Amino acid sequence: MTTLAVIAALEAELPKMQLDGHTLVTGTTGIGHEGARSVTKGILDEHGPAAVLSLGFGGGLRDGLEAGSLVVSPRLQVEGQPSLDADSSLLSAATESLKNMGVPFQLGNCLTVDQVAGNAESKAALGSKTGAAVVDMESYWIAWEAAAAGVPWLALRAIVDPLNRALPPFVVGKDGKNIRDWVLPALKYILTTPAGIPNLAWLGLASRKARASIERGVGAILPAILTQLPVTL
């Protein structure tokens, strides 16, 4: 039996998963690096997983990534810190399985930041500066804790906001672990900014596309990466 940890920022980012004959531990960290580190460390200390799969939503930093595009990251980056490389065996097994099962994906580095990159200009600048394909706020720190514990990891992100799309202002700076934490800010946004309703509708559709991509991707990846992990009694 193998124990695998699957960690995301939000409950809405966690797909339905089942591992017959294995133990699956899931965790949500909330937005940002503090929760990402503390929740991941807690899972590592308590459950001792054989590997960590970090997944969730992200923003596109290059052309060709649309809402729902799946990105598997060989490398994670954060400003002022050394980059982290994914476990080569997990990466190879995951990408081969995605190809064999016909699940569209792209390889691209992920940049982790401290503040939401909410508009096209900031995303373009980050992509140009770092060469990363996707931006998020947790992946690097989840992987950092895993690497510090000697546990292999893999990071998977699905695009919500492509390079040329801006997020609604209420998303920027909002914290929480559950999508319900955004209900009141969204209602306030609708009441005070009626012209932004189409953008809110677009965000909902993009989030559903991203979640569907994560579910397809994880369904293809989980059996493949389990073959690369040691079995414990």
Chain centre to alpha carbon of residue 72:
9
Longest dimension (CA), the chain: 58
The more confident residue out of 200 and 72 is 72
Report CA-CA distances (Å) from 119 to 12, 88, 208: 22, 33, 20
Among the residue ranges 115-119, 146-150, 168-172, 202-206, the one predicted with the least confidence is 168-172
Give me the residue spans of the domains in the chain.
3-226
133-175 confidence digits (pLDDT tens): 999 999 999 999 999 999 999 999 999 999 998 877 656 554 5
What is the C-alpha separation between 232 and 105, in angstroms, rounded?
A: 31
2-22 confidence digits (pLDDT tens): 899 999 998 889 988 877 888
Residue 189: pLDDT over 70:
no
Residue 92: pLDDT over 80:
yes
96-105 confidence digits (pLDDT tens): 999 999 999 9
Q: What is the 3-state secondary structure (H, E, C) of 138-207?
A: CHHHHHHHHHHCCCCEEEEEEEEECCCCCCCHHHCCCCCCCHHHHHHHHHHHHHHCHHHHHHHHHHHHHH
Q: Which CATH architecture has domain 3-226?
A: 3-Layer(aba) Sandwich (3.40)
